[in-house]
């Protein structure tokens, strides 16, 4: 055994996991369940990573909850959709592994751990016009969770993303969100929102944080609790600094801790799960064409996800696959001034599909079906920018819309608009011309665009970009708006606008891995003892975004596969049909 003379303290485990998001914790829980001694080291003082800020949705076709709901799809239909979506980037080895292991993964966590799910049986894939696209049943989300069940571990859980929570309270997608949006219009919704907020205030007083956890925060919490129950040692404030090798195999890592460096030897290997490179300026400069200095990109992922996993992998011969169709999971972001002088990155995931919203560039032109996915929206924004023009756009709506649905960080009625107008986040104009001048948009271009749009919107149509033309668009719209849930005219001021810039939910480019999540070298050979999961591994979707949950579904599944591989498990114990 090699001993690092620079390290004061030496420890040994079976599996060392670097990073505590969905990928890392899935690997840790699986390996520990199969008897391995597992240590998870986390750079931040809290665990959970981007996962704890996420929607918590996992794309896992043919999952047990769908089957229980009567949705029994043929594997070939999923392959058809993915082939149509991914084209030349289709990696059949890893996709087959994902399709086979995904349902087993869900079954394993449901059966043996604190991770329980709710179904996505009504959630369609994003590109409904492609062959094989699903209209529901291909995703699951972590079920809400009461944090009291975690005991003292809750103090180490990353709180929800400030910009998309309400005074630190997470709001679950679906009925919960619907009630909050309707609080000013329906007594039932008002009571629901009031009760939730009163309980949250009580939690803040008692525990200094919200205790009713939803979405990705519930996912991270449930994974953390499952890990702790199985004896996994989760160490926060402990960034991995370099990997150890023994006879070419990776055999551990040197980790910085508040008490000095520790050398951790890992008999079965190391899992890289550091959450990709959304804030690694050098790699963004290299791979993001729209960010020539590396700074013209504002990810909503935690700012400490700085590409450590990719660098650690490269240092021992791992190869980064930068050939993906897009290197990041794009999402439009607006920049929210914080009271402390900082700037929050608000990802626009919800309101773009609601009726009465359009997005225009500085020339006042629309450029995309705004109701499409966040990824497609940013692709459109990047493609529409002329050489030398800032890649940015403005989300525009009228007073009725902003009070009904909110706009970005601005919440719907009854919450006030003035703090956002005062901070400069929100622009207002009594007329479209006044709004255009306040934003620096060409007023003539904007007037022409809105006139052309309104002419069709009054009939519920959008012939130019097809808002409301796919099941995904419709689900994101407002069913009460007919004939098209995504289309209403933009008239009768005052009008409002929020500026959006290119951002992301995380990254797609990453280390090349095989079907067992082992990192591959330049000869496409597995590096013994080294796994990469989650966003440290190149996305199996090849840089495309076929459905909500395509980050976390594969992160959980390949984490599960890495844990099984490290533990030497080959058979599935559950009854899920893998045929
Ligand atoms: C607002 C938002 C909503 C989203 N919603 C969804 C969704 O619903 N479905 C979906 O599929 N995707 C979603 N995503 C994307 C998804 O959350 C991420 O792709 C996913 O969580 C990444 O998981 P991970 O395990 O790779 O990394 P992370 O969850 O980011 O965890 C990585 C961890 O590694 C730690 N780390 C970094 N460097 C080191 C080091 N040197 N040593 C030790 N630890 C280190 C980090 O601090 C971090 O805690 C969303 C993202 C955002 C921002």
For 429, the token pair is: 């104009």
How sure is the predictor about 577, in pLDDT bands with cuts at 50, 70 and 90? very low
438 and 455 share one domain: yes
The Å distance, Cα 106 to ligand 1 centre, comes to 19
Q: Residues 394-398: what's their mean pLDDT?
A: 98
Which CATH number is 439's domain given? 3.90.700.10
Q: Are residues 110 and 3 in the same domain?
A: yes
pLDDT band for 578, please (50, 70, 90 cuts): very low
pLDDT in tens, 339-394: 899 999 999 999 999 999 999 999 999 999 999 999 999 999 999 999 989 999 99
Percentage of the residues of the chain whose pLDDT score is greater than 90: 90
Nearest ligand 1 atom, CA 23: 25
Q: How many domains does the chain have?
A: 2
Handedness of CA 326, 327, 330, 336 (dihedral sign): negative
Output the CA torsion 209→213→216→218 (10° steps): 120
The reported pLDDT for the residue numbered 439 is 98
Indicate if 274 and 316 belong to the same structural domain: yes
Does residue 566 share a domain with residue 522? Answer: yes
Predicted pLDDT at 575: 53
pLDDT at 6: 47
Q: What is the mean pLDDT of residues 196-200?
A: 91
pLDDT of res. 183: 86
Rounded to the nearest whole angstrom, what is the distance from the C-alpha of residue 196 to the centroid of ligand 1? 27
Co-location of 375 and 439 in the same domain: yes
205-214 average pLDDT score: 93
The DSSP H or E segment spanning 344 is: strand 343-347
| Domain final residue pick, 482, 504, 526 | 504
Residues 283 and 316 in one domain: yes
Q: Which atom of ligand 1 is nearest to the CA of 536?
A: 26
Q: Residue 296 — pLDDT band, cuts 50, 70, 90?
A: very high
Say whether pLDDT at 574 is over 90: no
Ligand 1 mean position to 24 CA, how many Å? 10
pLDDT for 182: 86
Q: Are residues 354 and 453 in the same domain?
A: yes
From the CA of 407, how far away is ligand 1's center (Å)?
25
The predicted model gives 479-507 an average pLDDT of: 97
497: phi then psi, degrees, rounded to nearest 5: -150, 145
Residues 321 and 333 in one domain: no
Pairing of strands 249-257, 240-246: antiparallel
Ligand 1 surroundings by CB, under 6 angstroms: 18-24, 41-44, 49-51, 53-57, 161, 164, 216, 239-240, 273-275, 300-301, 304-305, 308, 347, 505-506, 534-535, 548-552, 555
CA of residue 523 relative to chain centroid, distance: 31
Average pLDDT, the chain: 95
Distances (CA, A) of 503 to 247, 321, 381, 411, 578: 42, 21, 11, 21, 37
Query: How confident is the model over 256-266, as a mean pLDDT?
Result: 96
pLDDT band at 573 (very low <50, low <70, confident <90, very high): confident
User: Within a domain: residue 201?
Assistant: no
Please state the atom number of ligand 1 nearest to the C-alpha of residue 241: 41
What is the pLDDT, as a whole number, of residue 334?
98
Asked if residue 196 is part of any domain, the answer here is no
**Ligand 1 mean position, distance from CA 18 (Å):** 12
Structural domain range at position 77: 1-115+227-327+508-579
* Ligand 1 nearest-atom number relative to CA 274: 34
pLDDT at 310: 98
pLDDT digits (tens, 9 = 90+) for 160-180: 999 988 888 989 888 898 888
pLDDT grade, residue 186 (50/70/90)? confident
Judgement on whether residues 315 and 355 belong to the same structural domain of the protein: no
> From ligand 1's centre to the CA of 115, what distance in Å?
17
Q: Tell me, in angstroms, the distance from the centre of ligand 1 to residue 125's CA.
A: 22
Shared domain for 241 and 336, answered yes or no, is no
Q: Please give the C-alpha separations between residue 311 and each of 132, 133, 241, 287, 315, in angstroms, as whole numbers.
A: 37, 36, 10, 15, 6
Q: What is the 19 CA–ligand 1 centroid distance (Å)?
A: 9
Note whether 296 and 318 are same-domain residues: yes
Does residue 192 sit within a domain? no
pLDDT of residue 173: 84
For a substitution probing ligand 1, which of 41, 536, 552 has the most ligand atoms within 8 Å of its CB?
A: 552
For atom 13 of ligand 1, the residue with the nearest CA is 54
The number of the ligand 1 atom at minimal distance from the alpha carbon of 25 is 25
CATH number of residue 88's parent domain? 3.50.50.60
List, for residues 267-288, the tens digit of each pLDDT value.
999 999 999 999 999 999 999 9
Percent of residues, the chain, with pLDDT higher than 70: 98
pTM metric for this prediction? 0.96
Residue 149 falls within a domain, yes or no? Answer: no
Task: Give me the mean pLDDT over the 202-219 stretch.
Answer: 94
Q: Which atom of ligand 1 is least distant from the CA of 304?
A: 47
Mutate to test the pocket of ligand 1, among 49, 237, 297, 508 (most ligand atoms within 8 A of CB): 49
Which residue's CA lies nearest to atom 48 of ligand 1? 49
Q: What atom of ligand 1 comes closest to residue 48's alpha carbon?
A: 49
Quick check: 142 pLDDT over 60? yes
- The pLDDT value recorded for residue 1 is 40
Q: Label residue 116 by pLDDT band (50, 70, 90).
A: very high
How far apart are the CA of 300 and the centre of ligand 1, in A?
10
390 CA to centre of ligand 1 in angstroms: 28
Tell me if 556 is assigned to some domain: yes
What is residue 3's predicted lDDT score, i.e. its pLDDT? 43
Which of 504, 523, 541 represents a domain boundary (last residue)?
504
| CA distance to 149, 354, 376, 465, 472, per residue, from 370 (Å) | 41, 9, 9, 8, 12
Same domain, 1 and 61: yes
DSSP 8-state class, residue 538: P
Residue at a domain's end among 451, 484, 504: 504
**Å from CA of 158 to ligand 1 middle:** 11
Distance, in Å, from the CA atom of 13 to the CA atom of 201, rounded to the nearest integer, reads 41
pLDDT at 2: 42
- What sign does the dihedral 421-422-423-424 (CA atoms) show? positive
Q: Which atom of ligand 1 is nearest to the CA of 301?
A: 53
Nearest ligand 1 atom, CA 548: 9
Contact status, residue 519 vs residue 531, Cβ threshold 8 Å: yes
Q: Which of 215, 275, 535, 543 to mutate to test the pocket of ligand 1 (most atoms within 8 A of CB)?
A: 275
Q: Whose structure tokens read 């004896």?
A: 231
Ligand 1 centroid to Cα of residue 12, in Å, is: 27
Per-residue pLDDT tens for 510-556? 999 999 999 999 999 999 999 999 999 999 999 999 999 999 999 99
**Which numbered atom of ligand 1 lies nearest the CA of 534?**
26
Q: What is the mean pLDDT of residues 465-487?
A: 97
Q: Does 433 map to a domain?
A: yes
19 domain-assigned: yes
> Does 193 reside within a domain?
no
Residue nearest to ligand 1 atom 36, measured at CA = 274
CA 536, CA 512: separation in Å to the nearest integer?
A: 9
Say if residues 418 and 387 touch (Cβ distance below 8 Å): no
Distances (CA, A) of 372 to 377, 397, 477, 498: 6, 17, 10, 18
Mutate to test the pocket of ligand 1, among 50, 241, 545 (most ligand atoms within 8 A of CB): 50
């Amino acid at each position: 055994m090699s001993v690092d003379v620079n390290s004061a303290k030496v420890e040994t485990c079976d599996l060392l996991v670097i990073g505590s998001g969905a990928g890392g914790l899935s690997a840790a829980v699986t390996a520990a369940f199969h008897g391995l001694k597992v240590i998870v080291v986390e750079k931040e003082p809290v665990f959970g990573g981007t996962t704890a800020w996420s929607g918590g949705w996992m794309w896992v076709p043919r999952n047990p909850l769908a089957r229980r709901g009567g949705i029994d799809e043929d594997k070939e239909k999923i392959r058809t959709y993915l082939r149509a979506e991914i084209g030349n980037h289709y990696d059949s080895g890893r996709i087959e592994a994902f399709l086979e292991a995904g349902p087993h993964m869900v079954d394993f966590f449901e059966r043996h751990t604190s991770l329980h799910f709710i179904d996505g049986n009504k959630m369609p894939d994003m590109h409904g016009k492609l062959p094989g696209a699903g209209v529901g049943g291909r995703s699951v989300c972590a079920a809400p969770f009461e944090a009291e069940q975690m005991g003292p571990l809750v103090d180490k859980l990353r709180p929800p993303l400030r910009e998309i929570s309400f005074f630190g309270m997470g709001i679950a997608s679906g009925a919960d969100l619907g009630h909050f949006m309707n609080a000013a219009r329906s007594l039932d919704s008002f009571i629901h929102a009031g009760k939730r907020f009163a309980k949250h205030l009580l939690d803040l007083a008692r525990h200094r944080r919200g205790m009713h956890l939803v979405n990705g925060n519930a996912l991270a919490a449930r994974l953390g609790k499952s890990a702790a129950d199985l004896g996994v040692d989760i160490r926060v404030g402990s960034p991995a600094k370099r990997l150890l090798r023994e006879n070419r195999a990776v055999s551990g890592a040197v980790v910085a801790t508040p008490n000095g460096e520790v050398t951790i030897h890992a008999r079965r290997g190391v899992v890289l799960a550091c959450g990709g490179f959304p804030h690694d300026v050098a790699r963004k400069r290299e791979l993001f064409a729209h960010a020539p200095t590396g700074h013209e990109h504002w990810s909503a992922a935690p700012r400490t996800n700085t590409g450590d996993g990719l660098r650690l992998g490269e240092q021992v011969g791992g190869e980064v696959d930068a050939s993906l169709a897009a290197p990041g999971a794009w999402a439009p972001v607006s920049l929210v001034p914080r009271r402390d002088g900082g700037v929050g990155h608000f990802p626009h995931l919800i309101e773009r599909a609601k009726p009465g919203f359009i997005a225009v560039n500085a020339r006042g032109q629309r450029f995309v079906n705004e109701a499409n996915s966040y990824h497609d929206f940013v692709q459109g924004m990047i493609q529409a920018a002329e050489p030398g023009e800032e890649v940015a756009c403005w989300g525009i709506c009228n007073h009725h819309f902003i009070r009904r649905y909110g706009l970005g960080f601005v919440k719907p009625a009854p919450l006030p608009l003035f703090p956002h107008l005062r901070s400069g986040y929100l622009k207002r104009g009594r007329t479209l011309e006044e709004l255009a001048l306040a934003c620096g948009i060409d007023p003539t271009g904007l007037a022409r665009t809105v006139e052309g749009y309104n002419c069709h919107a009054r009939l519920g149509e959008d012939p130019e970009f097809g808002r409301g033309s796919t099941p995904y668009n419709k689900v994101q719209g407002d069913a009460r708006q007919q004939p098209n849930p995504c289309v209403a005219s933009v008239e009768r001021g005052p009008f409002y606008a929020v500026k959006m810039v290119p951002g992301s939910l995380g990254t797609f480019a990453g280390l090349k891995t095989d079907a067992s999540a082992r990192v591959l070298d330049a000869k496409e050979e597995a590096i013994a003892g080294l796994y990469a999961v989650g966003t440290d591994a190149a996305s199996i979707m090849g840089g495309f975004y076929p459905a909500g949950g395509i980050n976390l579904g594969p992160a959980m599944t390949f984490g599960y596969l890495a844990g099984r591989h490290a533990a030497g498990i080959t058979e599935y114990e559950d009854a899920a049909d893998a045929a």
